[in-house]
Structure 1
Amino acid sequence: MTMTSTAPRNDTMLIVLGSALLLSLAMGLRQSLGIFMQPITTELRIDVAEFTLAIAIQNLAWGVFQPIAGALVPRVGFRGVMLAGAASYIIGLTGLSLAQDALGVLIFAGFFIGPAMGCAGTAITMSVTSRAVPPAKRSLYLGIISASGSAGALYAAPIGQWLNTSIDWQAGMIAFAALACLMIPAAWVAGRIDRRPVPPPPPSATEAASARLALVGALANPGFVVMALAYFVCGMQLVFLTTHLPAYIAICGLDPMLSATALALIGGFNILGSLFFGWAGGRWNKQALLGLIYITRSFVLAWYFLQDPTPASTMIFASIMGFLWLGVGPLVAGSVVEMFGLRWQAMIQGVAFMSHQFGSFTGALGGGWLYDLNGNYTLAWQLGVGMGLTAGIIQVAYALARPTMPPPTPA
């Protein structure tokens, strides 16, 4: 093999590995913040609703900033966007370890980590990967990147819980900030994609000439609109669990370390699920698969919350939910590329993700508000199940009735 053919392949693997590490750290640390809810609310004497407001603002800021970050990529490059996200993440975690009241938690957990996720999270890293790999392998590689986001919880949750129980929550947060420093070299390596030209769009896609036209085309596409609205429910269910499952386990009198085990199981099985749905998305209707994920998740949620939790049922629940967790990532990213091409993928995927994050805002804040109102999570999980079934059925029905079509070219 010649050096000419080997160099691009090596460069591609470096870009993919950098993207994987960046997403692993960003998602793993964020998904594990729920571990610190009880000690933070107790020591700082703040309400559960005040903590969940910070997490809700984090998810809302992530969603709002995601399309902005995507629109900035053609101007400043992926590397600049990702490095800015890494820096904001480190500041957020460091500041959170020093927080003294609800305002400090809100500022650092919400207004620093939220935009950081917009610059270094799913949409950006998947856009980098989509450009780096050949079209025939794109869906599989998107599954690999999505799996890396889950792998972060395998080490972040146990580290955070161990430091939280053996020292204090500030020690766990400082350790998280130290891990976040690894995002900087990961972003630098993944940013090598900026050296490459944008590949041509697939035959099914219609690429717009500007960000405005791309946005108009996306919002005029019924398949994209249905997918984005269903994505709202996805975010609501998942962030409700990451934020409130540790508290629910503690309320039920189970070992607090079980929450870390559950989050780690979610991360582990998420790897398998992401790889599976990345593979499946290259063979079957991506949007129909999305709907099936939402429906299955809802049935699993109902099964778990309808009974008194035990360590065994919690681990089974976490394993199944983990398999269904971030499998949506490669399916949504692949659908966006099929409909709109690669040039504006980060921005358009960011628009869909903004809907997801409005759902995340609702899941985090609404779960805390309903708990404070009722003294339990019953109504919260019932709403999550009902909305998940509705969204999943609509998504499947539309996907089967009207296969994805390229968007109309705006005038």
Structure 2
Amino acid sequence: MTATPAIRRAAWQSVPLILVCGSLIAMLGFGPRSTLGLFLTPMSAANGWGRDVFALALALQMLLWGAAQPFIGAIADRFGPVLVLSLGALLYAIGFAWMTFATTPGEMYLSAGVLIGFGLAGSSFTVVIGAFGKLLEPKWRSLSFGFGTAAGSFGQFLFSPLAVALNATFDWHTTLLIFAAVVLAIMPLSLALAKPAETITPAQQAALQSAPAALREALVHPSYIYLVLGFFTCGFQIFFITVHLPAYLVDRGLSADIGAYTIGTVGLFNIIGSISAGYLSNRMPKRYLLSGIYFLRSIAIVIYIMLPVSVASSLVFGAVMGLLWLSTVPPTNALVVVMFGTRWLTMLAGFAFFSHQVGGFLGVWLGGVVFERSGSYDPIWWLAILLGILAGVINLPIKEQPVARVAAASAA
């Protein structure tokens, strides 16, 4: 039997305070980053780059964000999220500020790629959701996962039009510096998610599962592997669309503002989608919820690219995709809790997120490469459709039950 530590929140850490501060962190962590596609055209033009330079920088960001997430998650699980969130916010801000002065591809890769990638690993909603799982009672968990994800989407909804307004009022250099200052607000907000004291004896500490043991247990569990592989598609689709949709619409004669409003619409409707997914995760099989989301995404993309591109079709596409956007996150994290418990939730969810980011890397990078070589995004759209179908299929055989270790501890 594995000992489970008795954990209590501090007296001042009320459920509303945790939810509000955590949601604000998720909003600030995801919002500014989701606007980077709006800088592709002006930065590339100003520096004489092809779209592949900007795309590779953001693809590198995706990959490093994901690669660092399991390690960052393990640190947050072991020592608490405050230090992780604060250092992540600092790197995030430095990366934004450096982008303003980047004039070579190398500087772009280091600022938008390396620094923001590692910064996001420490300050994104993945760390927030892990904290929610530890600080909140089981009845709140799935719904709180939905709120944390929805807050990130609200950041996307808020910051996309904000970026357009700031660019119009000032310029893209000033906009990046403003965003650099804004993300530093994550540091004081993180205090509300401070790790509570653990009442645990030395014998219990010795009996607790280690991080390597938890990872080994997960990586030989078929249902976890299916979950991780399916999450790859989520990253491929959403980051390809976030980065390349504004340019795709410009190529078809629409203004860059329409791209921003479409991405903003995605963020607005994902608030509904994420909260609904958190609610439904407690009331239906999570694997069926995930499969349905992936299948519906593919259907939506097929319809969108087969119709003439217009303002109306783009905004409707943004609304439909928004309902399905990050609605994968609550059931994915909830399945991790069901299978393995909350002890190493942030790390194990972070490893799944690494798969998500590998997908994001390929979606962003291939989007730029394929466009530069063929002058069209169509092959990537069809690849996104195929991956959605495969992800829908691979989630169906997931078994929603705890591993033997967790089941034995629960029975005891």
What is the TM-score with the length of structure 1 in the denominator? 0.92
Q: Is the 8 A contact 2:9 2:197 kept in 1?
A: no
Structure 2 counterpart of 1:174: 177
Deviation at 1:16, TM superposition (A): 2.1
Q: Is the 8 A contact 2:52 2:369 kept in 1?
A: yes
- After TM superposition, the structure 1 = structure 2 runs for residues 279-294 of structure 1, keeping only pairs within 5 Å, are 279-294=279-294
State the alpha-carbon separation in 1 of the partners of residues 183 and 132 from structure 2.
21
What SS is found at the alignment partner of 1:100?
coil
Deviation at 1:6, TM superposition (A): 12
Structure 1 counterpart of 2:204: none
Deviation at 1:408, TM superposition (A): 5.2
Structure 1 counterpart of 2:100: 97
Q: Which of 130, 155, 158 is the aligned partner of 1:155?
A: 158
Deviation at 1:240, TM superposition (A): 0.3
What SS is found at the alignment partner of 1:228?
helix
Deviation at 1:11, TM superposition (A): 2.9
What SS is found at the alignment partner of 1:69?
helix
- After TM superposition, the structure 1 = structure 2 runs for residues 196-235 of structure 1, keeping only pairs within 5 Å, are 196-197=197-198, 209-235=209-235
Q: Is the 8 A contact 1:19 1:125 kept in 2?
A: yes
Q: Is the 8 A contact 1:208 1:409 kept in 2?
A: no
State the alpha-carbon separation in 1 of the partners of residues 12 and 227 from structure 2.
34
Q: Is the 8 A contact 1:156 1:176 kept in 2?
A: no
State the alpha-carbon separation in 2 of the partners of residues 25 and 7 from structure 1.
25
Deviation at 1:161, TM superposition (A): 1.4
Change in Cα spacing, 1:266 to 1:360, as seen in structure 2 (3 Å) is same
Deviation at 1:281, TM superposition (A): 0.2
Change in Cα spacing, 1:389 to 1:337, as seen in structure 2 (3 Å) is same
- After TM superposition, the structure 1 = structure 2 runs for residues 47-86 of structure 1, keeping only pairs within 5 Å, are 47-86=50-89
- After TM superposition, the structure 1 = structure 2 runs for residues 135-146 of structure 1, keeping only pairs within 5 Å, are 135-146=138-149
Deviation at 1:302, TM superposition (A): 1.1
State the alpha-carbon separation in 1 of the partners of residues 340 and 9 from structure 2.
31
Q: 1:54-74: CA deviations, max 9, x gaps?
A: 100000001000000011124
Q: Is the 8 A contact 1:266 1:319 kept in 2?
A: yes
Deviation at 1:255, TM superposition (A): 2.0
What SS is found at the alignment partner of 1:79?
helix
Alignment partner of 1:318 is 2:318: yes
Change in Cα spacing, 1:134 to 1:6, as seen in structure 2 (3 Å) is closer
Deviation at 1:267, TM superposition (A): 0.7
State the alpha-carbon separation in 2 of the partners of residues 174 and 262 from structure 1.
24
Counterpart of 2:100, as a letter, is S
Deviation at 1:224, TM superposition (A): 0.6
State the alpha-carbon separation in 2 of the partners of residues 306 and 197 from structure 1.
56
Deviation at 1:13, TM superposition (A): 2.4
Counterpart of 2:196, as a letter, is R
State the alpha-carbon separation in 2 of the partners of residues 314 and 196 from structure 1.
49
Alignment partner of 1:406 is 2:402: yes
Structure 2 counterpart of 1:46: 49
Q: Is the 8 A contact 1:217 1:408 kept in 2?
A: no
State the alpha-carbon separation in 2 of the partners of residues 169 and 7 from structure 1.
43
Deviation at 1:364, TM superposition (A): 0.3
Q: 1:277-331: CA deviations, max 9, x gaps?
A: 0000011111221111111001101111112210000000000001111111111
Tell me which moved more, 59-68 or 285-294.
285-294
Counterpart of 1:122, as a letter, is F
Structure 1 counterpart of 2:339: 339
Alignment partner of 1:358 is 2:361: no
Q: Is the 8 A contact 2:13 2:192 kept in 1?
A: no
Q: Is the 8 A contact 2:63 2:358 kept in 1?
A: yes
Identify unmatched segments of 5+ residues in structure 2. 1-7, 201-206, 407-412
Structure 2 counterpart of 1:106: 109
State the alpha-carbon separation in 1 of the partners of residues 57 and 253 from structure 2.
26
Deviation at 1:268, TM superposition (A): 0.5
Deviation at 1:252, TM superposition (A): 0.5
State the alpha-carbon separation in 2 of the partners of residues 102 and 344 from structure 1.
38
Q: Is the 8 A contact 1:16 1:132 kept in 2?
A: no
What is the TM-score with the length of structure 2 in the denominator? 0.91
Q: Is the 8 A contact 1:94 1:174 kept in 2?
A: yes
What SS is found at the alignment partner of 1:405?
coil
C-alpha RMSD of matched pairs (Å): 2.0
State the alpha-carbon separation in 2 of the partners of residues 43 and 57 from structure 1.
21
Counterpart of 2:268, as a letter, is G
Structure 2 counterpart of 1:203: none
Structure 1 counterpart of 2:410: none
State the alpha-carbon separation in 2 of the partners of residues 181 and 409 from structure 1.
40
Counterpart of 2:253, as a letter, is G
Structure 1 counterpart of 2:263: 263
Deviation at 1:21, TM superposition (A): 0.9
Deviation at 1:342, TM superposition (A): 0.8
Deviation at 1:159, TM superposition (A): 1.5
State the alpha-carbon separation in 2 of the partners of residues 74 and 132 from structure 1.
12
Deviation at 1:75, TM superposition (A): 4.2
Q: Is the 8 A contact 1:63 1:118 kept in 2?
A: yes
Change in Cα spacing, 1:218 to 1:208, as seen in structure 2 (3 Å) is farther
State the alpha-carbon separation in 2 of the partners of residues 196 and 150 from structure 1.
32
State the alpha-carbon separation in 1 of the partners of residues 211 and 405 from structure 2.
13
State the alpha-carbon separation in 2 of the partners of residues 153 and 231 from structure 1.
20
State the alpha-carbon separation in 1 of the partners of residues 10 and 335 from structure 2.
30
Identify unmatched segments of 5+ residues in structure 1. 200-206
Deviation at 1:189, TM superposition (A): 2.6
Q: 1:98-132: CA deviations, max 9, x gaps?
A: 11121111111110111111111132110111112
Structure 2 counterpart of 1:249: 249
State the alpha-carbon separation in 2 of the partners of residues 310 and 356 from structure 1.
30
Counterpart of 2:47, as a letter, is L
Counterpart of 2:297, as a letter, is R
Counterpart of 1:14, as a letter, is L
Aligned residues: 393
State the alpha-carbon separation in 2 of the partners of residues 69 and 153 from structure 1.
23
Q: 1:61-97: CA deviations, max 9, x gaps?
A: 0100000001112443211111111111111111111
